[in-house]
Amino acid sequence: MHIAIIGNGISGITAARNIRKLSDHKITVISAESDYFFSRTALMYIYMGHMRLEDTQPYEDWFWKKNRIDLKNGYVEKVNTQDKELIFYDGESIAYDKLIIACGSKPNKFGWPGQDLDGVHGLYSLQDLEALERHSIGGINQAVIVGGGLIGLELAEMLHSRHIPVTFLVRETNYWNAVLPKEESDMVTRHIRENGIDLQLETELKEIWGKKGVEKAELIVTSSGEKIKCDYVGLTAGVSPNIDFLRFGDIELGKGVLVNEFLETNVPDVYAIGDCAQLQNPRSGRRPIEAVWYTGRMMGETVAYNVCGKKVEYDPGIWFNSAKFFEIEYQVYGTVLTNPPEHHKSIYWEHSDGRKSIRLIYDKNTSSIIGFNLMGVRYRHEVCEKWIKEGTHVEEVLQTLGIANFDPEFYKEYEQEVIDIYNAQTGNNLELKKRRGLRSALEFLKKTIA
């Protein structure tokens, strides 16, 4: 059997590796972006000089041949599901028995005038990075970034590392406050400014003007009518599935490729995973499209079983994510909402340096723990997950909170301070019983509930 995979990102590659573990099928992974799998999440580090492209490739080049995973560099222009073949941009075609679509995302463009000028780019692909490098070598006197998500912030940090002045336009009243609770959003907003980024809140892009004759961006106009001269515009107002090449086929599409819980599309033997997949029935509390690394990896693993003939439902487990805002690390486990319902109660501790915080969310009615939001402090994934999954009582969590702490040795532990806040809120008198340490964490994790 020949399994073709469109896309060599984390989802496509995880699928290929797991299919190889489970079977002897022929596997071909296709990508128009790069010869080898690299970590998209590390694009920023290449530009900043922390790593070379090679360092972001998780496997050595010989790995693919050794594992009999064929790699093909080419752009799939059309999928012919009738004859089960892929037709490439250059007219070539290959036949498949089963197809996995893992074609990822593309940066959003909202029809701004001038959005296709030279010097206006998203930050998603290797080619986007090359374009940025090209412009940087030419010299960028002023850059404007449009859209206040994680990628926009990474782009700001990148440009900042090369001493390029950055104006960062964000539609919201505070940075990423659609995801981060107010205090955390405030903290990051402060930190962005502390790093010398010109952050303009409640500001949107209206249009981009080009230099006459050369079609290169030279000025943007904001929603408030302000004009900013610039020679690079980064469009980072979110991403959406990169599925234009599937538009006129018979695979059913919504915003992404529609799939059921087995990651199957409406066409037999065609599956979709990763950023481009849209779940018809996402689990409760989860979104139909989750464009993050971890879900791509989990879908890749799941689809491998389904392709190999063992039906497994896609189960992403408890939500988690992480990021880094300049110097501030961020981790989240479970449900942390910006506009929480009334019964979500929050315990929030913040360090006096304004760069660390710990937030616990629990259900006021049941007292079960629901979520953790960490800034500048590291917590153990499995411990938090287990607490949330088991609906552990918030007071039990608090008293043993130390076992979740994952900061390096010698770091100060703040769990007692978190408890003090809870005590102050509730008039309780709890004390921390377990401090940081692998031993107690393991004891907790290995204990199964009776």
Partner 1 sequence: MSNKSTDKTILQKLGLAIFVIALGVFTLSLGLDSYQLSEESLKVSKEYHRVEVLNQAREVGVLNRSFESNIEFISAFKNVLEKAQSSLNEKAENGIPEGIGEWDFKLGDWEVKDYILQTTKSSSVGLIAQNKRLFLLLTFGLGILGGLLYVLPKFNLIPGIKNNHVYHNAMTRGLKFGPRSFFLTMTIIGSLLFGFFYLNKNLFWPLVTAIVILLIIGLVLYAEKQKQNNPTKSASPTITGWLGVFTGVYLIGFYILLYWTPHYITSWILIVDPVSEVLSGNPASQWFLYGLLYTVVVLVMGLRMMAKYQHNKYQLVRTGSVMFFQTAFAFLIPEILIRLNQPYFDFKNIWPLDYDFFFDFNLNTLLNSGGLGIFMLVWGIALIIIGVPVITYFYGKRWYCSWVCGCGGLAETLGDPYRQLSDKSVRAWKFERWIIHGVLVFSVLMTALVLYTYFSGNYNIWIFNSDTVRTWYGFLIGSAFAGVVGTGFYPLMGNRTWCRFGCPLAGYLGLVQKFKSRFRITVNGGQCISCGNCSTYCEMGIDVRHYAQRGQDVVRASCVGCGICAAVCPRGVLRLENSSMDVGTRTQELRTIHISEDEIKLLV
Ligand X SMILES: Cc1cc2nc3c(=O)[nH]c(=O)nc-3n(C[C@H](O)[C@H](O)[C@H](O)COP(=O)(O)OP(=O)(O)OC[C@H]3O[C@@H](n4cnc5c(N)ncnc54)[C@H](O)[C@@H]3O)c2cc1C
Question: By CB under 8 A, which span of 256-264, 277-285, 401-409, 419-427 interacts with partner 1?
Answer: 401-409
Going from the C-alpha of 25 to that of each of 3, 231, 298, 313, the distances in angstroms are: 7, 50, 21, 22
Residues within window 76-105 making contact with ligand X, judged by CB under 6 A: 76, 102-105
Count of residues binding partner 1 (CB under 8 A)? 73
Smaller CB separation from ligand X, 41 or 416:
41
Which residues, 161 to 220, sit near partner 1 by CB under 8 A? Answer: 161-165, 194-195
Contacts (CB under 6 A) with ligand X, residues 360-379: none
Q: Which of 381, 393, 433, 435 binds partner 1 (CB under 8 A)?
A: 381
Does 307 contact ligand X by CB under 6 A? no
Contact flag: residue 359 with ligand X (CB under 6 A): no
Q: Which does 90 bind (CB under 5 to 8 A by kind): ligand X, partner 1, none?
A: none
The correct pick among 233, 273, 279, 298 for binding partner 1 (CB under 8 A) is 298
Q: What are phi and psi of 440, to 5 degrees?
A: -70, -30
Interatomic CA distance for residues 7 and 26, integer angstroms: 16
Draw the binding track, 257-276, toward ligand X (x: CB under 6 A; -: no contact). Answer: -----------------xx-
Q: Does 447 bind partner 1 (CB under 8 A)?
A: no
Instruction: Please say which residue, 76 or 369, places its beta carbon nearer to partner 1.
Output: 369
Report the alpha-carbon distance of residue 221 to residue 5 in Å, rounded. 42
CA distance 8 to 285: 29
Would you count residue 68 as binding partner 1 (CB under 8 A)? no
Q: Does 12 contact ligand X by CB under 6 A? A: yes
Task: Determine phi and psi for 449, rounding to 5 degrees.
Answer: -70, 135
Region of residue 274 (phi > 0: left; psi between -120 and 50: alpha; otherwise: beta):
left
| Contact status, residue 348 vs residue 356, Cβ threshold 8 Å | no
Cα separation, 10 vs 31, whole angstroms: 12
DSSP 202-249: T--EEEEEE-TTT-BEEEEEETT--EEE-SEEEE-S-EEE--GGGTTS
Quote the tokens at residue 310. 């063992």
Q: Does 29 bind ligand X (CB under 6 A)?
A: no
Q: Which of residues 311-350 bind ligand X (CB under 6 A)?
A: 321, 323
Q: Does 72 interact with ligand X (rule: CB under 6 A)?
A: no
Residues that bind ligand X (CB under 6 A): 6-12, 30-33, 40-41, 43, 75-76, 102-105, 123-125, 151, 154, 242, 245, 274-275, 291-294, 296, 321, 323
